[in-house]
A = this chain, B = another copy of it.
Amino acid sequence: MEHTTQVLLQLFLMFAAAKLLGAVFMRFRQPAVIGEILAGVILGPYVLKIVSPSELTMGIAEIGVIILLFTVGLEIKPNDLLRVGGRATLVAVLGIIIPFAGGFFYMRYVGHSTLESVFTGTALVATSVGITARVLADMNILNTEVARVILGAAVVDDILGMILLAIVSSVSEGHVSYLSLGVVIGEAVAFTLVVVFWGSRVVGRIRPRMNSVYSRNPAFIISLLACLGLSVAASYIGMAAIIGAFLAGLAIADHREEWGITERIYALYEFLVPFFFVVMGAQLNLRTFLDRSIIATALIISTIAILTKLIGCGLGAFKMGARDAIRIGFGMVPRGEVGIIVGLVGLRLHTISDAVYSIVIVMTIITTLMAPPVLRLLFKGSK
Contacts and interface: CB of A to CB of B under 8 A. Distances in A.
Interface of A: 1-2, 4-5, 7-9, 11-12, 15-16, 19, 22-23, 26, 32, 54-56, 59-60, 62-63, 138, 173, 212-217, 220-221, 224-225, 228-229, 231-232, 235-236, 241, 263-268, 270-271, 348
A15 B1 CA distance: 32
B228 A8 contact: yes
7 contacts: A4-B235, A5-B241, A19-B221, A19-B225, A54-B55, A224-B270, A263-B264
Given A4-B348, A8-B228, 20 more contacts: A2-B173, A5-B241, A8-B232, A12-B232, A19-B221, A19-B225, A22-B214, A23-B214, A26-B213, A54-B55, A56-B56, A56-B59, A59-B60, A216-B266, A217-B270, A224-B271, A263-B264, A263-B267, A264-B266, A265-B267
A383 to B, nearest CB: 21
Contacts of A5: 232, 235-236, 241
A268 B271 contact: yes
B266 A229 contact: no
A215 to B, nearest CB: 6
B62 A241 contact: no
A59 B59 CA distance: 10
Nearest to A238: B2
B62 A4 contact: yes
Contacts of A229: 12, 16
B267 A220 contact: yes
A32 B9 CA distance: 31
Nearest to A20: B225
B214 A26 contact: yes
Contact of A220 (B15, B213, B270): B270
A16 B225 contact: yes
A215 B266 CA distance: 10
A60 B61 CA distance: 12
Nearest to A231: B8
Nearest to A5: B235
A216 B265 CA distance: 12
A12 B271 contact: no
Contacts of A2: 173, 235
A249 to B, nearest CB: 16
Contacts of A271: 224, 268
Contacts of A213: 26, 138
CB-CB nearest 3 A-B residue pairs = A264-B267, A267-B267, A56-B59
Contacts of A8: 62, 228, 231-232, 235, 241
A241 to B, nearest CB: 6
Contacts of A62: 4, 7-8
B228 A11 contact: yes
A228 B4 CA distance: 13
A347 B271 CA distance: 29
A173 B1 CA distance: 12
